[in-house]
Amino acid sequence: MDIVFGVLGGLGLFLYGMHVMSAGLQKVAGSKLKDIISMLTSNRIMGVMVGALVTAIVQSSSATTVMVVGFVNAGMMQLAQAASLIMGANIGTTITAQIISFKIVKYAPIIIGVSVGIWLFTKNRKTKQMAEAFIGFGMLFIGMKMMGDSLGPMRDVEAFRTMLVSFGTHPFMGILAGFAITVVVQSSSASTGILLALAIEGLIPIESGLPILFGINLGTTTTAIISSVGANKTAKRAAAFHFLFNVIGTLIFVSLLRQPTYLLITYLSPGDVARQIANAHTFFNVTTTIILLPFTSLLIKVAFKMVPGGEEAVLGVKYIDERILSTPAIALGAAIKETLHMGKTAGQTLHASMDAIFYKDQKKIDEVMRVERITNELEREISMYLVKLSNSNLSASSRETVDGLFNTINDIERVGDHSENLAELAQFKLDGNLHFSDEAFVELREISTLTIEAYETALSAMVTLDENMVNDVLHKEKEVDRLEKRFRGNHISRLNAHQCIPSSGVIFLDMISNLERISDHAANIALAARDEIRGGRYK
């Protein structure tokens, strides 16, 4: 039992160290991680490089592929882009194995001690975050040492040594073992860490390590497959592509390249099984990518065959996906895009409500009621997402952005509510066959046009972070206030002059009051954008 507890404890510390290191690196990367993802184009080589770089930061190919599934599911990435990124993720994950195989565990206490000292006494945010990453780095090695020390006594167990040696003579069993371990721990880096711990303790020969390594590369695909359950068909195809890519790579190496790989790695690192496994891991993924990259389109076609059919129209959320939460900087970008989507949805109700008023259109009234329900659902979904995002590893300025988004989605939801009020007033006017004077129609069109312009400019300011747009919204809001007071006075004068009936007059006053409230919320959205401009989004 001491061996089991020691291995589990070491594995737990290893995984926690990886998590701390990844969190620190992501904080340091900040907006750069978002910029890296935005570099994705139709250029496949660039996509591979981006995938490798992102995985080097998040320290897990499984996390990257799950994130990719989330991107595709949210419509933020095309399948061809996802394919390149997945290939690169397989290469990026080998960096962890390379670092571990250098056996610098004796320096881990020094790394942790110095890093904790820096973390405690520095006031520079970036330096503190980098120190946090190095603390995780040191913990990772201590976890490795714990696993190795716990597994050490197993070298005297003949049955255990015989089983490990048998994986070399029966490669299929080795592949199955690597696959099973990775399915259980759901991390190829952790599985590779266990394999390297065995190698460092001299418990496994390279002949047995290679099949296990191939199985680990197969097992890592299950994480993305599991993650794609409940996602759209394009996301399922991304997971299918990952599976195809690793299966074909494994078949190539088991059948054709196993011996060349053995000869190469033993030549590069004679007598050092840990370095041989790390080099084989890198060679496997780089070579597989080089071989299969020209056939990306063909593999995508096969993925379409595996997951047939088209996508259904999606109502509600488009960009936020919990799979992206593992990379907070990117998840924040998705939340901003979803908030803008919610804003445009509420804008749709505003346009439809005014059309219903001007053209006595029952279909427009019904549209407002239907779309307003979607706006409310978006507000709930985004709020829950922001709560989860606020509990992740965010920088101080990103946390301020999240707080601002809570206020913005509330303002947008209120715009939807006021648009619904306008539609209800249009319904009352239509049912009662009530009429406005020509002057009232002219005034209503003027104030509604200005209100809509203020609202749409505020949404644009959210994206562009242009202070001139913010000032334009604030100017329009003041003008709407002025018009509302003037038109209210004009209409009361018309009522006194019996130019319109009281029931129509009440509806008109309620309409311009709702429009004035909408302009207030537009100003709030613009002010939130101003806070972002002055605070510096993602810094």
Residues 54 and 84 in one domain: yes
pLDDT tens-digit map of 243-286: 999 999 999 998 888 889 889 999 998 989 989 999 999 999 99
Q: What is the mean pLDDT of residues 476-498?
A: 87
Establish if 312 belongs to a structural domain. no
Average pLDDT over residues 235-246: 89
As for how many domains the chain has, the answer is 2
The whole-number pLDDT of residue 229 equals 74
Helices (H), 30-78: 31-38, 44-58, 61-73
Rounded Cα gap, residues 395 and 129, in angstroms:
9
Residue 527 in any domain: the answer is yes
Helical H segments across 59-187, by residue range: 61-73, 79-92, 94-101, 108-121, 125-151, 158-169, 171-185
Residue 59 backbone dihedrals phi, psi, to 5 degrees: 65, 30
202: left (phi over 0), alpha (psi -120 to 50) or beta: left
One domain for residues 257 and 340: no
112 and 7 Cβ atoms separated by less than 8 Å:
no
pLDDT score of 539 more than 50: no
Express the helix, strand and coil content of the chain in percent, nearest 5 each. Answer: 85, 0, 15
In a domain, 173, yes or no: yes
| Pairwise pLDDT comparison (28 vs 125), residue with the higher score | 125
Residue at which a domain ends, from 279, 306, 333 = 306
Between the two ends of the chain, the Cα-to-Cα distance in Å is 48
Distance, CA of 479 to CA of 449 (rounded, Å): 12
Same domain, 34 and 135: yes
Question: Which of these, 354, 351, 352, 322, lies nearest to 335 by C-alpha position?
Answer: 322
Domain hosting 164: range is: 2-306
| Distance from C-alpha of 153 to C-alpha of 5, rounded to nearest angstrom | 13
The whole-number pLDDT of residue 538 equals 40
pLDDT tens by residue, 403-429: 999 999 999 999 999 999 999 999 988
Residue 308 has pLDDT above 60, yes or no: yes
Q: What is the pLDDT of residue 59?
A: 66
Q: Which of 91-95, 165-169, 311-315, 363-367 has the lowest mean pLDDT?
A: 311-315
pLDDT at residue 179 is higher than 50:
yes
Are both 329 and 449 inside the same structural domain? yes
pLDDT value for 315: 55
pLDDT at 398 over 70: yes
297 and 337 part of one domain: no
CATH number at residue 400: 1.20.58.220
Residues 204, 155 share a domain: yes
Q: Do 361 and 449 share a domain, yes or no?
A: yes
How many helices (H) and strands (E) the chain has is answered by 23, 0
230-236: Cβ within 8 A, 24+ apart = 231/69, 231/70, 231/72, 231/73, 231/321, 232/72, 232/73, 232/311, 232/314, 233/307, 233/309, 233/310, 233/311, 234/72, 234/73, 234/79, 234/311, 235/69, 235/70, 235/72, 235/73, 236/307
pLDDT of 371: 92
| Mean pLDDT over the full length of the chain | 85
Please tell me whether residues 404 and 528 are part of one structural domain.
yes
Same domain for 339 and 296:
no
Predicted pLDDT of residue 182: 85
User: In this structure, are 168 and 296 located in the same domain?
Assistant: yes
The pLDDT tens digits for 312-363 are 545 578 888 887 887 787 788 889 989 999 999 999 999 999 999 998 899 9
Q: Which residues contact 16 (CB under 8 A, 6 or more apart)?
A: 136, 139, 143
Whether pTM > 0.85 for this model: the answer is no
**Same-domain check for residues 248 and 290:** yes
Q: Is 225 within the bounds of a domain?
A: yes
How many CA within 13 A on the CB side of residue 209?
A: 28
Q: With residue 415 as reference, give the H or E element that holds it.
A: helix 396-431
